[in-house]
A and B are shown apart, each in its own frame.
Chain A
Amino acid sequence: MAVEKIVTRRFDNLKAHELDEYVATGGYEGLRRALSMSPSEVHDEVRTASLLGRGGAGFPAGVKWGFCPPNVWPRYLVVNGDESEPGTYKDRQLLERDPHQVIEGCLITCYAVGLTQCFLYVRGEMAHAQERIAKALNEAYAAGYVGKNILGSDFSVDVVLHWGAGAYIVGEETALIESLEGNRGMPRLKPPFFPAAVGLYGQPTIVNNVETMANIPWIVERGGDAFAAMGAENSKGTRVFAVSGHVNNPGVYEVEFGTTTFRDIIMGDEYAGGMRDGKALKGFVPGGASAPWFFEEHLDLPLEKVAVDQAGSMLGSGAIVVMDEDTDMVKACHNLVRFFARESCGKCTPCREGTTWLERILSRIIAGQGRPSDLSLLMEVSENISPGIAWPPRQTTICPLGPSAVSPIASALERFRNEFEDYITLSDRRVIPVGAA
């Protein structure tokens, strides 16, 4: 099961965030190698690697890079470090523990695609990550890895750091671009569907996730084939998952993509180490708060994009939230819906009004004021945000935030309807154990 680690390979080295240590452990070798190649060769390596974007949508990075219209300048790289989904904390770890690796990935990407400037957007609350990446960037500038004539070559690029102001929605790439431009973080309308055509300041822009960037140095150093040799057919390389909830060892784990199963990562001793206090598993969120929930029967699914998609959920942002038998699923559902209601940007009516309405119905149910009609009302309001409540979701909104609030409701109501009914009908509320339904 053990596989070579790519992006977390320096996580055990507590000095890896320092430039000297980073270089001593092979850092910036990928950049040196990239500079010895032509940009299109570097791009080809990434294409060969079939590196899927690690932000949530899982779009192949090499393909996305190819969307930049030729001969339009300037063009930008925007790195999305606005990681704010509940249970997701892999990018924070990457920025804190190995910031140079992210910077190196950015530089190589700029070189390969001919991007003129890189903007690294870091979530506002990640104080430690900001400190580390800022220090690392200063070191890298001083040592000539960033800036003018990098490593004596004629390749120059600047990296700009930008701290977010605390909005989850800015993780949506067009909202992130709005925020970078100094506007309110609200998603842009599509089309254009990709910022690669019209992005930051109206110019072609590649938006990639922090983890995607962290993979690039390794791919360039070791070759796209070596990367593609790892993982499964549709999910190459490794992938970092953040496991949290009722497990013995919550944390960030890098696993071979596509071959490892949910059972491995949740129950395996080398990973999360099984359920806390020997409790039974009641359900888990497989890919961030917006993903439909999985249960016992899904444990043997591989951590692989297509398999998870077909099973009706997604790997999304790589957050696995585990819930044991003691979990009150109505409250769990409410917790997630409340998150989305609070984080709605307020732009589209269905999300702005609908998510809050859902949250208030759930609050009312939990407060013992539920009505029998509330369960159908929850579904009908959900339907107005995400018609058909299907997976992948359809939406009446611009971005997927609204439909994200529907996922936990649909999952919880489908599987644990009795718990909702009990809240509504029983005066002395108690937790219903697994299987009692």
Chain B
Amino acid sequence: MSIDATESDAEGVEVAEPEPEPEPGVPFTVNGVEYRAEPGRNLIDACEDVGAYIPRFCYHPRMKPVGMCRMCLVEVDTGRGMGLQPSCMLTVSEGMVVDTESEVTKKAQDGVLELLLINHPLDCPVCDKGGECPLQDQTMSYGPGESRFVEEKRHYEKPIPISDTVYLDRERCILCDRCTRFAKEVAGDPLIHFMDRGNQTQVNTFPDDPFSSYFSGNTVQICPVGALTAKPYRFKARPWDLNEIETTYPNPMGDRVTIQSSRNEVLRYLGVDSDAVNWSWLADRDRFSFEATMHDERLTTPLVRGDGLGNASADGDELVATSWSAALARVVEALEDANNNAGPSSVAVIGGARLTNEAQYAWARLAKGVIGTDNVDAQLADGLPGDVVASLPRTTIADACAPGGTVVLLSGDPKEELGTLYLRLRHACVEDGVKLIELTPNETGLTRYASQSIRVRPGDIGAVAAAITGAEGANLDKAIGAVTVKELEALAAAVSGSDRITVIAGRTSMADHAALTVEAINAFAALDNTAFLPGLRRGNINGAIDMGLSPELLPGRTSLGAAGAWYREHWGQVPGQAGLDTTGILGAAATGRIAVLFLLGADPLTDFPDPELARQALDRADVVIAIDPFINASAAAAADVVLPAAAFGEVDGSHTNLEGRISPIRQKVTPPGTARPDWMIAAELAMRLGKDMGFVSVEEIADEIAAVSPLHAEADAAAIDAAPDGLVMPLTEDPSRPTRFAWSDLGAPDEPASYDSYSYRLVVDRTMYDMGTQTAHCQSIDQLAADGVVRINSHEASRLGIGGGARVRLSSKRASVECNVSVDDRIARGTAAVAHNHPGLDVRSLIEMGDPVTDVRIETV
């Protein structure tokens, strides 16, 4: 360290003291002052770290540098004399001398800026980017004030759609390669490219091959000019009219986002570069979902049954507006009747994954501590048992994706269900050499990056997992279903050769039994180097389980048995015995044993695997109360009372992601009409039942959770607020509190289901764009749900003598449905796949719940 630097910048530089450990990093000089930086750190970042900002367009910290725009040229001396070098392409080395302010540097940067502007249409007044445009901003600092370019500018057709949501204006484009790099390097959907060359170089798609990436919206966010614009935001606002708040998007990843709004209207979401979670990326479905928040069909007032004239009437066919006090009085009356007639267990709550942690806690306490029922389940039989999820030893995404690790995929396709997890896993496989082992019925979006991708027929996963993890009694000398001995041996070798395994555990199909996946989880949990990330797909489902919205569970991943006494002390009461899950609740309701059924953002008619049972249950339950931002199918058909709930962006609270990471959710706009936060509805119901829960704000609930949950001891409102990147559960193990669930062996797996070679095993999976309530209310993406089809591979299609588009009948032992065929070679042999909740096809009636698997015949019609 030079003497000059110590004197001139005593504060910014750590003074070298005689210490046994050497100072971290290597010395390098920026504008005459010596600093230290980690060797290998990108020079453009290292300079920014020490306060010397270097202008740039193409460089993006989450993508590989390309050195295209040349804006970041600075004079650098690495021992061979000063020379202009792109700082994004250099890494700090010992003794490097950088001048970011020299005449030569300035002239080069001014020159590049002038060249970037010569063909750029200066249509800033009508450009969406105006006001937040890096090109506009840097034009203020660099380059000549006037253009010397008198020729005609480059012309292209003004914005062309390159996907359903993104427009491209090639005249504005400065060819920085950010969007194209994103498509190729990050999303793995290389559908936009440079075309032509030299001055005619342009970004475009191939003809008839649009940029239909689930992640296309990210290119709009990273575009340094207004070349890429998103349909939902085009011409909606000027950046200086927006104000924003940073929050957590309520998907299982807990993506960090910024909500931007103007005049109480949410206008866009932007991804926030959270190191722990989403690295600034978002899936389009989430990015554009603010359209649903702002939708005209949002509920603004409570509704009760009434007649066509709008008068309340218990047996009316319509839902008519009423006041909160009338609606809540009706609910309280129903609850009191139920309690008096059949006891608290005649009340049930389905749903709650949409809610914040605090709202989930309020509802769990209302149900279990106030009403006294344990018939509470946030999942609709399409996930994993709550106790299993609660007991999984967890890991973090960062650890799962760290070099040297192995990831085992036992869940649905992350690309379809958990967009940003897909991006992180893809990066881990491609860039960091993480080994991915897929044990899935069909290929997924990650298959091409997997080191082993094995097609495991539904029903066989437990046996396969037992065999490859070396479980007792399992062996490798016999093929399991479609998995050959050779494949089993290779898998076993990969598993035993891994230092660190992360299992992504979820459901690959609605048409098989959750117990099969649990068996597989069981086998992996027996390995001592394995941790889990739950691959559940509903919003804040991980929070719901942690908050006790699951039968037998209490807040903090604990159970009635382990923590009943503790919570009885804090809540006054807890249910005496374990309650029913959603299947049990609907079964009980269908036989008249449920008097009051809360649908807490749940739509069993659409989402439950057995729609007939859901229909009977809703018909037989005395009072159905829906709490939702929208009227969904179940509420329209059967709700006696509908309470309008505030949605994401309209509530404060916190969110728990699949790692158990708790991060803050912030309110940006006010809810429409009289819609209320879910926690407030629970609190008011408790009060009206005469058992006030004692909290009047989200902060008080958070503090109460921190005070009682075995898991959340330090996660009070202030701590959550202070941790934008989240707090990972469990923070501490407080010995005075109940113990958490530990993994317990569930016994030996069953024999794999037999398989009849004339049949196809049915897989009912999920896609990114379906007819889900939220997606259906986003104008920009509601058309993207493809028509429902049965997908089989080309081998099976030729065996059946049919091609794509053929009409077939699928028959199980329970029912049959007609549908069209799509030939898709990602589907395994002997398997028929149908995506759930797509227009024109619902195959749930084929599924016999309780059977391990569902086999279907395919006949041409």
Least Cβ–Cβ distance between A389 and chain B, in angstroms: 13
Q: For B71, what are the chain A residues with a Cβ–Cβ distance below 8 Å?
A: 349
Smallest distance from the beta carbon of A383 to chain B beta carbons, Å?
Answer: 7
Write the chain B residue with the least CB distance to A402: B70
Could you say which residues of chain A place their CB within 8 Å of the CB of B112?
A: 349-350, 384, 396
Judge if A307 is at the interface, Cβ distance under 8 Å.
no
Determine whether the beta carbon of A341 is less than 8 Å from that of B198: yes
Asked if residues B115 and A346 are in contact (CB atoms below 8 Å), the reply is no
Q: Is B114 within 8 A of A384, CB to CB?
A: yes
**Which of B14-22, B103-111, B774-782 makes up part of the contact surface?**
B103-111
Find out whether the CB atom of A383 lies under 8 angstroms from the CB atom of B197: no
Chain B residue nearest to A187 in the complex (CB): B67
A352 to B69 Cα, complex, angstroms = 10
The A-contacting residues of B in range 110-139, CB under 8 angstroms, are 111-112, 114-116, 118-119
Q: What's the tally of chain A residues with a CB closer than 8 Å to chain B?
A: 33
**A167, B198: Cα distance in complex, Å:** 11
Chain A residues lying within 8 Å of B201, measured Cβ to Cβ, are 345-346, 352
The reply to whether the CB of A377 lies closer than 8 angstroms to some CB of chain B is: yes
> Is residue A347 contacting chain B, with contact meaning CB distance below 8 A?
yes
B68 interfacial by beta-carbon distance below 8 Å: yes
Q: Does B83 contact A (CB under 8 A)?
A: yes
**Scoring A residues 380 to 406 as 1 if CB is less than 8 Å from chain B, else 0, what string do you get?**
010110010000001011100000000
In the bound complex, residues from chain B placing their C-beta under 8 Å from that of A349 are 68-71, 112, 115-116, 174-175
Are A353 and B116 within 8 A (Cβ)? yes
Which residues between 70 and 117 of chain B lie within 8 Å of chain A, taking CB atoms?
A: 70-71, 73, 83-84, 86, 89, 104, 107-108, 111-112, 114-116
Checking B84, B111, B193 against A383 with a beta-carbon cut-off of 8 angstroms, the contacting residue is: B111
Determine if B199 is an interface residue (Cβ-Cβ < 8 Å): yes
B206 beta carbon closer than 8 Å to chain A:
no
B104 with A387: CB separation less than 8 A: yes
Q: Find out whether the CB atom of A384 lies under 8 angstroms from the CB atom of B199.
A: no
Cα A73 to Cα B84 with chains together (Å): 35
Which residues of B are found within 8 Å of A398, using beta-carbon distances? Answer: 67
Check B194 for interface membership: any CB of A closer than 8 A: yes
Q: How far is the CB of A359 from chain B (nearest CB, A)?
A: 9
Which residues does chain B contribute within 8 Å of A342, judged by CB atoms?
198
Task: List A residues 149-184 near B (Cβ within 8 Å).
Answer: 167, 169, 184
From B67, B148, B150, A189 is in contact (CB under 8 Å) with B67
Q: B199 touches which one: A347, A353, A387, A394 (CB < 8 A)?
A: A353
CB closest chain-B residue, reference A354: B115
- The answer on a CB contact under 8 Å between A394 and B84 is yes
Rounded to whole angstroms, the CA-CA distance of A342 and B68 in the bound complex is 18
Q: Kindly list chain B residues whose C-beta atoms are within 8 Å of the C-beta of A343.
A: 197-198
* A419 vs chain B, min Cβ distance (A): 22
CB neighbours (8 Å) of A384 from chain B are: 107-108, 111-112, 114-115
Q: Does A215 contact B (CB under 8 A)?
A: no
Q: How far is the CA of A345 from the CA of B70 in the complex (A)?
A: 15
A356: interface (CB < 8 Å): yes
Q: Does B65 contact A (CB under 8 A)?
A: yes
Indicate if the CB atoms of A364 and B151 lie closer than 8 Å.
yes
Nearest chain B residue, comparing its CB with the CB of A388: B104
Nearest CB on B from A347, distance (A)? 5
Contact (Cβ within 8 A) A387 B68: no
Contact partner of A355 (CB less than 8 A), chosen from B67, B83, B198, is: B198
A344 within 8 A of B: yes
- A167 adjacent to B115 (CB under 8 Å): no
Interface residues on B, range: 35 or more
Check if B66 is an interface residue, CB within 8 A of chain A.
Answer: yes
Contact A350 B70, beta carbon cutoff 8 Å: yes
B108 near A344 (CB under 8 angstroms)? no
Residues of the B chain whose Cβ atoms lie less than 8 Å from the Cβ of A347: 66, 68
A377-B114 Cα distance, complex, nearest whole Å? 12
Contact B194 A396 (CB under 8 A): no
Residue pair A348, B111 in contact (C-beta under 8 Å): no
A135 within 8 A of B: no
- How many A-B contacts are there with CB distance less than 8 Å? 93
A270 to B612, CA, bound (A): 98
Indicate if B233 sits at the interface (CB-CB under 8 A).
no
When chains A and B are docked, how far (Å) is the Cα of A258 from the Cα of B465?
A: 73
Which of chain A's residues have a CB closer than 8 A to the CB of B68? 347-349
Q: Is A357 an interface residue (CB 8 A)?
A: yes
Q: Which of A189, A350, A364 contacts B111 (CB 8 A)?
A: A350
B53 in the interface (beta carbon within 8 A): no
Q: Mark B52-70, 1 if CB is under 8 A from A, else 0.
A: 0000000000000111111
Chain B positions within 8 Å of A371 at CB level:
150
| Cα distance, A174 to B114, chains bound together (Å) | 28
B149 contacts the other chain (CB 8 A):
yes
When the two chains form their complex, are residues A387 and B84 in contact, meaning their CB atoms are under 8 A apart? Answer: yes
Q: Which residues of A contact B107 (CB under 8 A)?
A: 383-384, 387
Over the window 809-827 of chain B, the binary record of Cβ atoms lying under 8 Å from chain A Cβ atoms (1 yes, 0 no) is 0000000000000000000
CB-based nearest B residue for A347: B68
Please name all residues of chain A whose beta carbon is closer than 8 Å to the beta carbon of B198 when the two chains form the complex: 341-346, 352, 355-356
With a cutoff of 8 Å between Cβ atoms, the chain A residues found around residue B83 in the complex are 394
B544 to chain A, nearest CB (A): 46
Q: Is A276 an interface residue (CB 8 A)?
A: no
- Tell me if B197 and A346 are in contact (CB < 8 A): yes
Cβ contact within 8 Å between B197 and A167: yes
A360 located at the interface, meaning its Cβ lies under 8 Å from any Cβ of chain B in the complex: yes
**Interchain CB contact under 8 A, A189 and B84:** no
B805, chain A: closest CB distance, angstroms = 33
Task: Determine which of A189, A355, A356, A360 lies in contact with B65 in the assembled complex, contact meaning CB atoms within 8 Å.
Answer: A189
Does B65 lie within 8 Å of A357, measured CB to CB?
Answer: no
CA distance A400 to B843 in the complex (A): 62
Q: Nearest-CB distance from A424 to chain B (Å)?
A: 14
Write out, one digit per residue, whether chain B residues 38-59 have a CB within 8 A of any chain A CB (1) or not (0): 0000000000000000000000
Query: Chain A's nearest CB lies how many Å from the CB of B192?
Result: 13
Contacts A387-B104, A396-B70, A398-B67 given; indicate if A350 touches B197 (C-beta within 8 A). Answer: no
Which B residues touch A341, using CB under 8 A? Answer: 198-199
B653 to chain A, nearest CB (A): 46
Find the residue from A169, A343, A344, A364 having the highest chain B CB count within 10 A. A344
A135 to chain B, nearest CB (A): 32
Neighbouring B residues of A184 by C-beta, 8 Å: 193-194
> Which residues of A from 361 to 390 have beta carbons under 8 Å from B?
361, 364, 371, 377, 381, 383-384, 387
Q: How far is the CB of B142 from chain A (nearest CB, A)?
A: 12
State the CA gap A349–B67 with chains docked (Å).
Answer: 10
Is the pair A396, B197 in contact by a Cβ cutoff of 8 Å? Answer: no
Q: Which of B249-284 contact A (CB under 8 A)?
A: none
User: Which residue, of B68, B199, B201, has the highest number of chain A Cβ atoms within 10 A?
Assistant: B199
CB distance from B110 to the nearest CB of A (A): 8
Residues of A within 8 A of B200 (CB): 346
The answer to whether A344 and B67 touch across the interface, beta carbons within 8 angstroms, is no
Closest A-chain residue to B112, C-beta based? Answer: A349
- Whether the Cβ atoms of A348 and B197 lie closer than 8 Å is no
- A396–B116 Cα distance when bound, in Å, is 14
Known A189-B67, A357-B149, A377-B148; judge A345-B197 contact (CB<8 A): yes
Among B68, B86, B89, B108, which residue has the most Cβ atoms of chain A within 10 A?
A: B68
Residues of B within 8 A of A (CB): 65-71, 73, 83-84, 86, 89, 104, 107-108, 111-112, 114-116, 118-119, 148-151, 174-175, 193-194, 196-201
25 contacts between A and B (CB under 8 A): A189-B65, A189-B89, A343-B197, A345-B198, A349-B69, A349-B174, A349-B175, A350-B115, A353-B116, A353-B118, A353-B119, A353-B199, A355-B199, A357-B151, A377-B148, A383-B107, A383-B111, A384-B112, A384-B114, A387-B84, A387-B104, A396-B84, A396-B108, A397-B70, A398-B67
Known: A352-B201, A371-B150, A387-B108. 16 other contacts (CB 8 A): A189-B66, A189-B86, A345-B201, A347-B66, A348-B68, A352-B199, A357-B149, A357-B151, A360-B151, A364-B150, A377-B148, A384-B111, A384-B114, A394-B84, A396-B70, A396-B73
List of 8 A-B pairs having minimum Cβ-Cβ separation, nearest first: A384-B111, A346-B201, A356-B199, A344-B198, A353-B115, A360-B151, A189-B67, A349-B70
